[in-house]
Amino acid sequence: MITKLSSKQSDFKDNLSKLLAWESVSNANVAKTVDDIIANIRSHGDKALVDYTNQFDRMNAHDMSELTIKLSALKEAFDTLGDKEKTALKTAADRVHSYHQKQKQETWTYTEDDGTMLGQKITPLDRVGLYVPGGKAAYPSSVLMNAIPAKVAGVEELIMVVPTPDSITNQLVLAAAYISGVDTVFTVGGAQAVAALAYGTQTIPKVDKIVGPGNIYVATAKRVVFGQVGIDMIAGPSEILIICDGKTNPDWIAMDLFSQAEHDEDAQSILLCPDADFIDQVEASIAKLLPTMERKEIIATALKDRGALILTKDMDEAVALSNQIAPEHLELSVEDPQAMLDGIKHAGAIFMGRHTCESLGDYCAGPNHVLPTSGTARFSSPLGVYDFQKKSSLIMVSDEGANVLGEIAATLADGEGLQAHAQSARYRIK
């Protein structure tokens, strides 16, 4: 059902490497299809976008007006929600907004003794495209997590694309768009939507950055258009890694493993624990609870193919292995998680304590749930306000400062054989 490993096994390193191996956009056929779609969108704009939408999403649209959702429809979606859903959505949005408000960067400067001023100007992006999965995978939480930081950053125009196969829209997704401040919604998806956002069409304006999750076609398209526009990341399957001291209810741990495994068959759920008896208890809990899950087939496949219960020598080794894996979600289900925190170097989000399950972070804790996957937490961070702001250096050299800096610059330019650079600097020397 789920692989059991021990760090003492002679082939442990090889088995762990195989378990962690993942490449999200390596399929050559997918890459060829995406290239063709992007080329067609660039050549034919709206017409190609409508054609692809009709083909892939089983729609019958004649033009882009039929694939555009008005703001009044977003408001109506929110207004017609039940009180419980309204409250949950608004509370989650408020918490996400409050957290991200603290990430906002401001312009700063300082002045040197000779009057030279240096600093950094912070400006928001003008226009951002938000990709939201549709159809069976409809995630209002993704709307909140992507749109709210952009609006906190000061992005003027936020364009959302969401596929609606068979013309089925998700009310919660539209309601989330309304309370998050999305400006325009188009019911298109796939690589064709990414291409439309990256290059623009007659109806969809070109954006500066594309954010949001999607399938392999979306991920591949984002990689292709990167450079034309910014992207948030190339996201792989969802991951959870749990470090447990063996004192948490094993049913809790099993369900936390399920919480990622139910996303899709490629999701990864791993437990690190130095207590062999507890690992057996978790295995028993998995067997007991799995038949009760609506998505049991998906969970079972994910656990079988990419899940693991790993016996470690001690908690220190568990921390070391966690840093090697660099998981998207890391649960520290231990007595004193703060004492362990200093040792954690690489993780997208760290959930501390037995009562802090990962799913709270997915929806309403406040921090962003868009996190680096596939080991990229070694060099990447969660999506944040800073992803929607850019920096410009500020340099204003005084007359006095030009004498000193001019001589330094000219000397270095001479050394590089760049005469015009040197002379330009020397012109400013008194």
CB count, 10 Å around CB of 217? Answer: 22
pLDDT band at 136 (very low <50, low <70, confident <90, very high): low
Q: Give pLDDT tens digits for 416-430.
A: 999 999 999 999 998
Q: How far apart are the first and last CA of the chain?
A: 79
pLDDT at position 406 is: 96
Q: Per the residue annotation, which of 97, 263, 329, 369 is the catalytic one?
A: 329
The arithmetic mean of pLDDT across residues 144-169, rounded, is 96
Note whether 372 and 393 are within 8 A (CB).
Answer: no
> Looking at 239, 262, 328, 358, which residue is catalytic?
328
What tens digit of pLDDT does each residue of 194-229 get? 999 999 999 999 999 999 988 889 999 999 999 999
Topology, domain 28-231: Rossmann fold (3.40.50)
For residue 110, the cross-strand partners are: 118
Instruction: Name the residue among 415, 409, 396, 416 with its Cα closest to residue 426.
Output: 409
For 271-299, how does the pLDDT look when each residue is reduced to its tens digit (9 = 90+)? Answer: 999 999 999 999 999 999 999 999 999 99
- Number of separate helices (H) and strands (E) present in the chain: 17, 15
pLDDT at residue 289, as a whole number: 97
Strands (E), 285-355: 308-311, 329-333, 349-352
> Given a cut of 80, is residue 369 above it in pLDDT?
yes
Entry pTM: 0.92
- Please tell me the number of Cα atoms within 13 Å of 404 on its side-chain side: 9
Residue ranges in 103-238 assigned as alpha helix (H): 140-153, 171-180, 190-199, 216-225
pLDDT at position 236: 82
Question: Taking the CB of residue 253, how many other CB atoms lie within 10 A of it?
Answer: 27
The answer for residues whose C-beta is within 8 angstroms of residue 257's C-beta and 6 or more apart is: 240, 242, 269, 271, 282, 286, 303, 307
Distance CA 49, CA 62 (A): 11
Q: How many residues does the chain have?
A: 430
* Cβ-contact 254, 285 below 8 angstroms: yes
Position 134 pLDDT exceeds 90: no
239 is catalytic: no
* CATH fold for domain 3-22+236-365: Rossmann fold (3.40.50)
Q: Which among 107, 132, 96, 138 is positioned nearest to 384, based on CA atoms? A: 96
How far apart are alpha carbons 299 and 271 in whole angstroms? 15
The pLDDT score that the predictor gives to residue 34 is: 96
Using DSSP's 3-state secondary structure scheme, residue 47 falls into helix
Annotated active-site residue 328? The verdict is yes
pLDDT digits (tens, 9 = 90+) for 381-401: 999 999 999 999 999 999 999
Q: Which two tokens stand for residue 206?
A: 């070109």
Tokens 């948030």 belong to 232
Please give the pLDDT value at position 137: 64
Residues 6+ apart with CB under 8 A from 332: 243, 340, 341, 344, 350, 351, 352, 353
Give dist(CA 114, CA 128) in Å, integer. 41
Which region among 15-29, 123-137, 204-218, 281-295 has the lowest average model confidence (pLDDT)? 15-29
pLDDT of 28 above 90: no
CA proximity to 361, closest of 100, 182, 136, 141: 141
Q: What percent of the chain has pLDDT over 70?
A: 98
Q: What is the mean pLDDT of residues 17-23?
A: 84
Q: Which of 272, 276, 296 minimizes the C-alpha distance to 286?
A: 296
Write out pLDDT tens, residues 33-65.
999 999 999 999 999 999 999 999 999 999 999
Average pLDDT over residues 300-319: 96
Q: What is the mean pLDDT of the chain?
A: 95
